Amino acid sequence: MWDAVRRLHADGTTVLLVTHEMVEAEALCDRIVVLRAGRVLDAGAPGELVARHANLATVEFSWPDPPAPLLEELGRLEGVRQVKRTAGWITVEGNRRRRLA
């Protein structure tokens, strides 16, 4: 299917593609319009939308009883926005453009 869309595009045909998959939209589209309930939330080139809206990275790992100092240290790492502990899991959210080291 992707090859057919690419051929149509190469021939100069405008293609309206409806998808929920950003990977698919990035691979096939020059311009993306994000809709919710029939209203435009944002529009632009795939890279522009990713830069504006996909800045968070999430890492989850299991650790039944992590020491409190570890959680505090994770929270102090550059780029980390939030550290959550839930039922034996630790979730670290941070800026995807920074390496969480």
Q: What is the pLDDT of residues 30-39, one digit of tens each?
A: 999 999 999 9
Question: Which residue is it, tokens 């691979």?
Answer: 27
3-state secondary structure of 60: strand
Q: Which of 57, 51, 59, 54 is nearest to 95 (CA)?
A: 57
Structure tokens at 82: 């939030």
Structure tokens at 72: 């505090």
Q: What is the pTM of this model?
A: 0.53
Residues 6 or more apart from 85 whose CB is under 8 A from it?
A: 66, 71, 91
pLDDT, tens only, 59-79: 899 988 888 898 899 999 888
